[in-house]
Amino acid sequence: MKRYDIIKIAGVSCYFLFLIFSFLFGFNPGEEIGYNFFSFSVDMLKLLPFAFILIGLFEVWIKRETVERHFGEDSGIRGYIWALILAGTTVGGLYVAFPLAYSLYSKGAKLSVIFAYIGASAICRVPMVIFEASFIGLKFTAVRLLVSLPLVIVTSILLGDYLAKSNYKITEGK
Q: Is the pLDDT of residue 174 over 60?
A: no
Binned at pLDDT 50, 70 and 90, residue 67 comes out as very high
Instruction: State residue 173's pLDDT score.
Output: 59
Question: Sorting pLDDT into bands at 50, 70 and 90, what band is 169?
Answer: confident
Contact in structure between 33 and 19 (CB atoms under 8 Å): yes
Domain ranges of the chain: 1-46, 62-174
Using the predicted structure, report yes or no on whether residue 62 has a pLDDT greater than 70: yes
Distances (CA, A) of 158 to 3, 74, 151: 38, 17, 11
| Range 10-16 average pLDDT | 92
In 3-state terms, the chain is what percent helix, strand and coil (to 5)? Answer: 80, 0, 20
Tell me the pLDDT tens digit for each residue of 81-115. Answer: 999 999 998 877 788 899 999 999 999 999 999 99
Q: Give the pLDDT score at 84.
A: 94
CB-based contact 71:100 (threshold 8 Å) = no
pLDDT of residue 6: 87
- pLDDT in the model for residue 93: 79
Cα separation, 32 vs 23, in Å, equals 10
Q: Which of the pair, 52 or 156, is modelled with greater confidence?
A: 156
pLDDT in tens, 119-137: 999 898 888 899 999 999 9
Query: Tell me, what's the pLDDT at 61?
Result: 93
